[in-house]
Structure 1
Amino acid sequence: MKSEITIVGAGIGGLSLALALEQKGINFRLYEQANSFEALGYGIQISPNVVHILEKLGLKKQLERLSHICLGFQLRSFNTNKILAEWKLDNKTPYYQCRRADLHQLLFDMIQNKGRIYFSQCLESYEQKDNHLYLHLKNQGSITAQAMVAADGINSVIRQSLFPQYQVRYSGYSAYRVILPFHRKYHFLWGKATVWMGKNHHVVVYPNGNEQSPESWLNLVLVIKERKSNDQSWSVPADKTALAQDFANHSNELNLILEDMIESPEPCFKWGLFIHEPLPYWSQSKVTLLGDAAHPMLPFQAQGAAMAIEDAYVLAQYLSNEKEMVEESFIKYEQARMKRTGAVQRLSRRNADIFHASGIKALTRNLILGLVSAIMPSLLNKRTAWIYDYKIENS
C-alpha cells in the first residue's frame, strides 16, 4: 500500500493513527483546525485493551511515569453513601488514569516527523472525482489527497457528508467535567475509580497522575438527568456553585470534594450527551471514518478514546499490507471494527440506566451488586473481560 494517508483531526485518534502509520513507514499528512494543541486537562481512563496498544507503540515507560494505576472500582449510593460493591481488577496489564492533555502530548511527542502536522487547517468540504480527493480547507484553499481518514470528532464534517440525513437524539443527560489539585485528604480515593450512583445523578471520581509525581490531580465527572437538550460541545462554562447544590448528597467525602470544586480556580464545563446510532458503513472509496467520527458513544463505559486508539492501530495494520489497495484496506478495517464498537456503544447506553436506576430497579441493582461483590467479585470483572482482555496481534 503506497498511498499517502491524509488524516483530518489531531485528537487522540488522529495522533494515534499518525504515530502507528509512521512506525510502519507509511506517509501521512495530518490537518488540525485548532491553532495549536489545547491543554485540556480532564481525566481519561486507559484500560488494559488500550495499554496493550500504547505499549506496542513504544509508550510503556512514559505511561508509567504520568499515570495513576487503578487497581479496582467502588460503587456507592448517592443517597446513603453506603458501599454497594467494590472489586479488584484481575487483568495483568495495568489500568491507567491520567490527564487527557498528558496522553495527547505524549502521542504528539512520539511522532518524529512533525512537519507533516498542519495546524489552523479547517476542512469545510471535500469531493471525490476522477479517482482523486479534493479537500477544501478554510485557510488554504483546495488540496488533493490520495486517501483520507476522518478523525474529526463527534461533529465530523466528513461523516455528515457521507450521511447527509444523519441525526442524533438527546439522551436526557448532561455531564460536567472539572479537575482539581489532588490533596492528601483525598487519599481514600487512591488506587481506584469511585462512582456515586443516584436516581437522577451519578458522579465519577478518580486520581490522575503518578503518586510519585510532584503534581497530581483529581478528575471529577458529574452526570445529571435533564429534560432540556444541551450543546454537544465540551466547552460550555458551568456555574460551580449551582452545580454543587444540584449534587448535594449524604456523603461527607463527596460533599467535601464539591466544596473544593467551588473554591478551586479550575473551570468546570458542561456538555449535553447525545445518542448516536451505529452507522451502516464507515468507508466510501478512498475515505473512511475513525473514532468519534465513526462511532460516538456515551461516556458510561469510559471507552470513547479507547475505541479510537484501537481503530487507529487496526487501520494502520491493514494499510501496511502493500499487496492491497487502500479501498480494500478501508473495507477490511471497517469489517474488523464495526461489531466491537457497536457493542461498546450499546453497553455504554445500558450503563446509563444502571447508574440512574430508581425505586424497585435501584433496590434490585443494589442487592445484586452487594451479593456478587461479597460472594464472587470476579464475576464483576467477567462483565467487561471482553473489552479489557482484547488484544491486537501484530500483522
Structure 2
Amino acid sequence: MPLEVIVVGAGIGGLCAAVALQQAGHSVKIFERSRFAAEVGAALLITPNGERVLSRLGFDFKRARADDMLSFEVLDGVTFKQLHRAELINAREEYGAPLYTVHRVDMHNELLHLTSTLDLRLSSKVAAADAEQGLIVLEDGTQHHADLIIGADGLHSVLRGVVLGDQDAAKSTPGQVQNFAGIHESLHTEGDDLKALMLAEFGHYHPSLVHIINMAPDVTVWPLSYHDPLPIWTRGKVALLGDAAHPMLPFGAQGANQAIEDAGALGALFSNGESVADVPSRLRLFEQVRRLRASRVQSLSRVRLGKEKEVEDRVRLYAEPPNSKVPTSFAERLSHDYKFDVYAVCKEALSKKD
C-alpha cells in the first residue's frame, strides 16, 4: 500500500521531495503557506551532487533555461587578484555530473511543472503538528493526517520545533541573568539609503565593483541566516529537510544542493513498498545517511572557498567515520561536496540494514 505523505513547504527541497516520493509510489500532498504571488531570487549553482538527483527526478535543465558552468574564479575584492580557479569543462568525468547555473524562479517553475499532478495547497500555513500521530493543524484549524510528514518549511520551521521539542526552546537560568542585550551586526536600518551604506562598506574595493554599485538602480537587502547543526532530524512520523534541517550560508553554493540531496535520499529509502510500520526505521536511516554529511557541508559554509582550515575543528565533529580526514583546502572541498552520490550511499545503507 502506498504511504500517505504530507510535505510542508513548496520550496526547492519540498518540491523535490514531493516528486521523489511520488516516483517511489506514494500519495503526496503539499501544503505551502504562501500564494506564490511574487517569487524572487537570484541565480543558483547546481553542483554535481545535486544534478544527479534532479536528473533522476526528470528535471529539464533546458526548459529551466539553465546554463553549463565551465569555470569559476575566486577573486580578492580589493585587488581583483585571482585566489582560486576551478576548470569545470570536464566536470562530468571528474565528478560524475556537470554543473549548471539557473535562476531560482526558473528552477522553481520547472519543479512546479514536475509536481503538476500532485495535490498542492497554497495559502495553507501549518500552525502545529503531532509527530507521533502524523498530524498537521493549519491556521484555520483544519487537521490533516499522514503516514509520513516532511518538514520542508524553511528557516522559521514549525516542524523543527515539533522534532526538537525542548531542545529547540530557549533555556531559562533563574537568578543567574539580570539583563540580556542582543547585539548583532547589521549594515542598515529601516529607511536607510542602502546604496550609500553599500558604498560606505565597500568603497575601498576594486573600482570595477564600486562602479557596479553606483550603476545599480536599486539595492535590496538579502538576509543570510545560519543555524548550528541539529542533533536530530526526525521524530515519530516527521522528518526535516532543507533549511528546516540545515540552514547554511552561501559560501560553497550548497544550500539548495543539500536540500536536493535530502529529497533524493527520501525517494531512495522509501522506494521498496514500505508499510506504515516501516516509517520510523526508514526515517532513522534517513537521518543516519544525511545528518552528518549535511552538517559537514553546513559547517564549511561558514567560510568562503579556500578558507577551509579555519573551520577544520568544527567540521571534524561530523566526520564519517569519526576522526577521518575532512576537507581542509579548496580542492578537497570541491571533491567532498561534488563527488557525493546520495543514491549510492542510500543503497549501501539499505544493504547493511537488510
Query: Is structure 2 residue 310 aligned with structure 1 residue 354?
Result: no
> Alpha-carbon deviation of 1:60?
4.2
The corresponding residue for 2:176 is none
> Structure 2 length normalisation: TM-score?
0.77
Select the residue among 330, 335, 339 that pairs with 1:385. 335
Alignment of 1:87-236 (within 5 A): 87-89=86-88, 90-92=90-92, 93-114=97-118, 116-128=119-131, 132-163=133-164, 164-166=166-168, 228-229=184-185
**Does the C-alpha gap of structure 1 residues 323 and 151 become closer, same or farther in structure 2, counting only changes over 3 Å?**
closer
Task: Decide whether the 8 Å contact of 2:41 with 2:104 is kept in 1.
Answer: yes
Q: Which residue of 2 aligns with 1:69?
A: 68
Using the alignment, how far apart are the partners of 2:285 and 2:19 within structure 1?
20
Match of residue 254 from structure 1: 209
State the Cα distance separating 1:353 from its structure 2 match: 9.3
Distance between the aligned counterparts of 2:38 and 2:110, measured in 1? 13
How far apart are the structure 1 equivalents of 2:193 and 2:305? 22
Q: C-alpha separation between the residues in 2 aligned to 1:143 and 1:383?
A: 42
AA of the residue aligned to 1:301:
G
User: 2:286 aligned with 1:283, yes or no?
Assistant: no
Question: 3-state SS of the aligned residue for 2:222?
Answer: strand
Describe the shift of the 1:298–1:236 C-alpha distance in structure 2 as closer, same or farther (beyond 3 A): farther
1:242 aligns with 2:197: yes
Query: 1:272 offset after TM fit, Å?
Result: 4.6
> How many angstroms apart in 2 are the aligned matches of 1:4 and 1:167?
30
User: 5+ residue gaps in structure 1?
Assistant: 169-226, 358-378
- Structure 1 residues 272, 96: CA separation in 2 closer, same or farther (over 3 Å shift)? closer
The answer to whether the 8 A contact 1:14-1:151 is kept is yes
Tell me how far apart the structure 1 counterparts of residues 255 and 101 of structure 2 sit (CA, whole Å).
14
SS in 2 for 1:86: strand
Does the C-alpha gap of structure 1 residues 237 and 9 become closer, same or farther in structure 2, counting only changes over 3 Å?
A: farther
Match of 2:323 in 1: none
In 2, Cα distance between the equivalents of 1:350 and 1:389?
Answer: 20
Q: How many angstroms does 1:128 deviate by?
A: 4.5
User: Which residue pairs with 2:175 in the alignment?
Assistant: none
Aligned length: 304
**Percent identity among equivalent residues?**
30
What are the ranges of 5 or more consecutive residues in structure 2 without an aligned counterpart? Answer: 171-182, 311-328, 348-354
> 1:362 aligns to what?
none
Residues 91, 389 of structure 1: 8 Å contact kept: no
Match of 2:220 among 235, 251, 268: 268
Computed over aligned residues only, the root mean square deviation of the Cα atoms, in angstroms, reads 2.9
Question: 1:154/1:328 Cα in 2 relative to 1: closer, same or farther (>3 Å)?
Answer: same
Measured at CA, do residues 238 and 323 of structure 1 come closer, stay the same or move farther in structure 2, by a change above 3 Å? farther
Per-residue CA deviations over 1:348-387 (Å, capped at 9, x if unaligned) read: 12438939x9xxxxxxxxxxxxxxxxxxxxx843431121
- Kept after mapping to 1: 8 A contact 2:163/2:238: no
TM-score by length of 1: 0.70
**Mapped partners of 2:51, 2:107: distance in 1:** 11
